[in-house]
Structure 1
């Protein structure tokens, strides 16, 4: 063999080792035997004798742990009941299969630890049984029932204390579905429940789920619970992998579909490092640290855990800083708890929202049903909260096996109530358990038989035969809405099944009341049937609805009675901003803004009137300029031409008898002067006609003028004017002076260029009108001074129009004149 010759110190050692019994080990079954009896190495040994219904020993374990037992059903077993490992050789519906005394499962103070190694063959949701029991001590007789430690099909690790009416609470936690300890069918897991023996202390029960091989040096805590009393010490049917409770011929079908190994029950609440997957060196080191650490009394204080605004968690500010919320009416939920290690059971907790009222109210714990009375606009008038903790009367293992218990409560409804809103909540995130509600009814005291709440039996809705169904007029809310589900009792019912330690959910519904309460308000009767087992966590909750803007401080105080008179308190500031119109600076600012706006209105009106008057003055000046120009043109041009006509007519009259030939010459002169007069009159009429105040008309006029000037002349003219000139309105004075400038440039070609070719181009370029007149005639030297003022007057004309005039010429190479003017906007009178 490979190990021959190796020393003992050199032999390989498994990472994890089976347990060795210590003074706290009540029972320890390694389950390594090939068949019954399975030895118990605890201080109170009880061998297990009944391997029944197809349960198989000698199965592959986690490496280093000998062997395991399979509880997967086989063809040879009782498939309805399922495989089981029992303390006795056979199942019985009476006391014959009860475990023999003594069979302790706890220490003198009630503390215990129950643990096992488990491996699934199928995922819990796919199991054929109703639940997956790991270790149980159950019985057909109600007074003998003790506990069940198991996995629920939805994926919960659950500890159920069921040993009589004195025990309440338990533990329920969701198995991890992600991370290093995610549930699967490949790995082995260590499952444990630990109870510290402190009855009624919050979170005295802890649930652990740890994947073997994850490298942890401490158990992985997945949830906490509360036992309000120690579990019973009576004898019952002890079993592994199933329950020994056989109700006659009925089959509970609670077998574990997989492997179980290394089951240990201890008389203490073992620390998180005292389990098989922690090395012995690490255990010793942790024990030494614990021995050297002096016991400390935890400070009596409280801690704010979470603030929800409108059911949405908020990020808490730094210590001492207030939480600032926007304007409006807000629902505020404060979740708070005592510091770890504080036994809060003997403390009475009261809280208030200072600034909203001075009255102290008890904090809510557990699951709640909240009724809100609203007026026609949805404003809250009053509220009533019914809290639920512990177990309902007759509660069994689960809701399906428990009776529905009727409950009736008075509900005061104010006079102005028109709507009611009910919210059934799973409470603070660390609250766990089950609450099922059915036959919800709201009635007037005078007519209790008439139910005003429509469909209180939850018969209507979508998919009401499924847990994901939605009853009529109801909706889910919360950070984990799947907690709110439809439960199938004797029909669909409203349910909360909460195993989440960090999430919560609500069912909520808003209805019209349907009747008007009596004057001054009226007390109605509220009733429903329920079954519940609610395990409150360490957190408490205080809720405040429709909190208006203002500055507040949430305060909580816990006062202990004798012999513990100590107190603990909590204070947390917050501010809800007022709307802008309610802030101190708003009225002065509004008055100032009003005065400023009035002044601006008066100033705007003044400016409008001033612009109107200025525009009228400008228009009047423009009219006067046009009149002056027309008068000047008529005097300078038409007057001269009329004078020529008069002179020519006088010469004709004197010469008609004495010198007919000379008279004929004067007649020719008279005809030419008349034609020139007609042309001048046409130009004048064109200049003053408003219908010609467009760019198109200006282009047409300039084209006609150019053709008329060069008619019967030695100059050949080419005209280039685009057909798609924009439709732009021009001032009459602009087009008049622009036309005169172009006309003068054309006349200069006729007088000075000689026989040649000439071009006239008119174009629109980026808001400017450009005229270019060029010839290939004689040209001139611009540097040589010339007689007359033609060119300076031409440049001055376009400068007056706000444009430019560029003349380029050289002797023998012709002349080019470029006129460029930005088109001015036509002034218009503003509206009054």
Structure 2
């Protein structure tokens, strides 16, 4: 086993769990404490049980022999519980006083049940009780003390109640430990899910920022190289566009990294939203794409999450047009409706390179953003050969009233 229940505070009546490492992992202190208490209590009980044998040296040896296996009760609970039951039965057969000796079997049963060996604990406790019945009601005349008579049957009811109480308490602790373990596992799983969601969020943000900006930079770099000798002024314009796009990309990447370094702090700059759509149109124009934007429905302030998702969906859709479409025009339609926001981005195609179906990371990221808000994304080739991205994002009623 990797852990052991050892003496100390904070672990219930018998100590706390700690890692086993050599001798330090064994519950020496709690075992010695139990043995001392049982010795002292048995000595006191002997003075109040005149009909039993005096607790002599041999009786104390039997008590020590019954307590000693408890050191291994968390590593070998089954042999320990049967060994303690057997020595306890020998102690009772020798006529020594009742009382604290039963604490030893209670501790052994508790350790066995808590570690999942309930059947062994029940058998050990049942055999001890059956042996006691045999000694107290049939074999008493052949065993010390001399002249002893049969024990009253009425005392068996408290003995049975004690056994049931020990098993019930052990089962309760076992169930509580399982609940705690399940709670820890659920909490760890929730932490992993939150970490995965945060990782995916950051990956989506970086993808959206870099894919769009690098697409613009790539187009303008090609223009600059083509016109470097023939039209230096136009090449200069392309380089200026590259500088502006790279500066904006660096700023947004820095914002994402700042939230990663200090997740509890508020971002230094507001997250982008549809209010920055004109900037997006200008960047697309710098890449040679003419974008027409139409809006319908009552303008309302969008929730931050929906505003960011809408901006990123439009951004990714325009990036795909720049990278994968032969069309140099695109149409963005934004419709504000009751409880929803409709986004539609169309181009007239045709596709020029990498297929723009639903298998790319960009489209997968758009679907994840929409799904996180309870929305949907439809993306595919239109019958006339163009490509359409249609997103529906639900909005809270108070945001659309």
**TM class by smaller structure:** 0.3 to 0.5
* TM-score normalised by structure 1 residue count: 0.20
Give TM-score scaled by structure 2 length.
Answer: 0.37
Q: Which has the higher strand share?
A: 1
